[in-house]
Amino acid sequence: MKGKRTSASDVLPGEVPESGDAGRVIVVGAGAGGMMAAGRAAERGATVLLIEKTDGPGKKLLISGKGRCNLTNARELEGFISMFGPNGRFLHGAFHRWFREELLAFLGRYGVETKVERGGRIFPASDDAADVVKALRRYLADHGVELRTGVRVTGIAVRDGRVEGIRTDGGVLPARAVVLATGGATWPATGSAGDGYRMAASLGHTVTKLRPALVPLVVAEIERAKAMQGVSLRNVRMTAFRLPAEQIDPSLTPAKDYGRGIDGKKRRGPLIESRLGEMLFTHFGIGGPITLLMSLSIVDALAEGPVSVAIDLKPALTAEELRTRLQRDFDRFGKRGFRSLLAGLLPHKMTEPFLEMTCIPPERPGHQIDAGERERLAALLKSLRFNIKGPLPLSSAIVTAGGVSLKEVDPRTMASRLVPGLFFCGEVLDLDADTGGYNLQAAFSTGTAAGEAAAAFARDSAEKP
Ligand SMILES: Cc1cc2nc3c(=O)[nH]c(=O)nc-3n(C[C@H](O)[C@H](O)[C@H](O)COP(=O)(O)OP(=O)(O)OC[C@H]3O[C@@H](n4cnc5c(N)ncnc54)[C@H](O)[C@@H]3O)c2cc1C
């Protein structure tokens, strides 16, 4: 097996004294979860080999939070867990043992101070994700974890129903316990390309349907979106419906946010989700924070039928207030042409599409715009609609929804319920949350739990061979 060896204690397969290495823990994947699992297992006394297929650890961590790494969130535990939807319940065990306070204390020990920003998002005070990776690397080194990069694990070796090591192109590396920390299937250039799902499935684990989450969306009205490409809108309300755009009833738009992680009763009917915030038009459709947050429920609803979104560009005004305001402005600036009046209502790049959609002549003076035309404009400003064609591919999503079924994993130890000696952590599990630092905390906490349990398993099974 080739691969860069970064520890003096490192040896190649074949050179390995079988008995010694057979007692070790191998962690597959040096991302957030894998590094934490490896460090923790070593801290608990195990001999640990951490294998990473790219040329260095923490590639995705380095790009997380636009290079600033949104580590976790200040939200209280129940609210935190609600950000993962129903599967969040699985995290109670891991979070009760090792949660945000422990993560921040751990980072503090390695010199990473943190700060809390808007929405409770917690970042390194330096705004540099590289500091987090450096801290994790020091943790590994302090506890003698052997890190081998540039080695792709191709499978998990099992004999008599229990783990005996991992497979690489160079052969089998023995281990008493293996932690699968291969991440999801998004941004494959960072190394996470879905390998772990295949390995888990080949051992009989159920892998629930993989879907892109936190992903921009492609609209059917692509030319319209393209015309507004680059326009970023703040304080707009986007609402998604299980309906084609022309069937949306604007009265169904809720006044408050509705969706994952938000308190309130689940509603029946066509409403999927609604968020107030920032969105963006792109050359293929829509992106930006609220689109990403709503994307998974839209992706899931699309599997069952047509989905559309309505954007309320003036959410601070009721439809009636907007009509009154338009009438007042059009009277006050009665000599101005419609194009110029629109420029006072919308970003420049949205003027042409609105001229086209309202069918009001661009030069028509304000005082000649009749009630019907004003009504058409008001309706569009309150409900600019797009039919959703689908998400961008999984590779461009921020996280993967779906993964190793949680029913087959012990939530206290992250141990496989099917294969003794196999443990999971991080995004390879069927866990995903909204943006805000939740996904990384889940990777760190499940990594800690898996590392501890894998070390205990390796020790116990070495005592009774
Ligand atoms: C652009 C972007 C920004 C993000 N920003 C944030 C953020 O600010 N806050 C947040 O909470 N979440 C964020 N996320 C999500 C978060 O980064 C992931 O959920 C998290 O990194 C998952 O951790 P993990 O350890 O499970 O997997 P990863 O961090 O993906 O690590 C998996 C590792 O396994 C390795 N690997 C895979 N297959 C093999 C194999 N066969 N053999 C050996 N090694 C293998 C990979 O190379 C990789 O290093 C972001 C994601 C993206 C894409």
In order along the chain (465 residues), what is the average pLDDT of each group of 10 residues? 38 36 88 98 97 98 98 97 96 98 98 97 98 98 98 97 95 96 96 97 98 97 97 98 95 89 80 97 98 97 97 96 94 92 95 96 94 95 98 96 98 98 98 97 98 96 75
Q: What is the pTM of this model?
A: 0.92
185 exposure class (CB count in 10 Å sphere: 0-12, 13-18, 19+): buried
pLDDT of residue 398: 96
How many angstroms is it from 422 CA to the middle of ligand 1? 20
Helix spans in 147-214 (H): 195-202
How many angstroms is it from 184 CA to the middle of ligand 1? 7
* Residue closest to 348 by CA, chosen among 229, 211, 428, 241: 229
3-state DSSP assignment of residue 415: strand
Distances (CA, A) of 38 to 334, 409, 436: 71, 19, 25
Q: Whose CA is nearest to atom 35 of ligand 1?
A: 29
152 close to ligand 1 (CB < 6 Angstrom) = yes
Q: Whose CA is nearest to atom 46 of ligand 1?
A: 191
Q: Which residues of 231-251 are buried (b: 16+ CB within 10 A; e: fewer)?
A: bebeebbbbbbbbebeebeee
Sign of the C-alpha dihedral computed for residues 218, 224, 229 and 231 taken in this order: negative
183 close to ligand 1 (CB < 6 Angstrom) = yes
How many angstroms is it from 191 CA to the middle of ligand 1? 8
80 close to ligand 1 (CB < 6 Angstrom) = no
Secondary structure element (H or E) that encloses residue 232, with its range? strand 232-241
pLDDT of residue 14: 33
pLDDT of residue 23: 73
d(Cα 264, Cα 326) in Å, to the nearest integer? 34
173 close to ligand 1 (CB < 6 Angstrom) = no
3 close to ligand 1 (CB < 6 Angstrom) = no
How many angstroms is it from 397 CA to the middle of ligand 1? 12
d(Cα 372, Cα 250) in Å, to the nearest integer? 18
28 close to ligand 1 (CB < 6 Angstrom) = yes
How many angstroms is it from 452 CA to the middle of ligand 1? 21
Cα Rg of the chain, angstroms: 26
- Listing DSSP states for 38-104 in one string gives HHHHHHTT--EEEEESSSSS-HHHHHGGGGT---EE-S-HHHHHHTTGGGGGGGHHHHHHS-HHHHH
Q: Whose CA is nearest to atom 30 of ligand 1?
A: 183
pLDDT of residue 22: 61
pLDDT of residue 267: 75
Residue 57 CA, closest ligand 1 atom number: 49
34 close to ligand 1 (CB < 6 Angstrom) = yes
Using DSSP bridges, classify how beta strands 211-213 and 308-312 pair: parallel, antiparallel or unpaired.
unpaired
Contact 30, 441 (CB under 8 A): no
Distances (CA, A) of 87 to 53, 212, 249, 449: 29, 16, 32, 17
Residue 153 CA, closest ligand 1 atom number: 42
440, 441, 444, 448, best to mutate for ligand 1 pocket (most atoms within 8 Å of CB): 440
Sign of the C-alpha dihedral computed for residues 390, 394, 397 and 403 taken in this order: positive
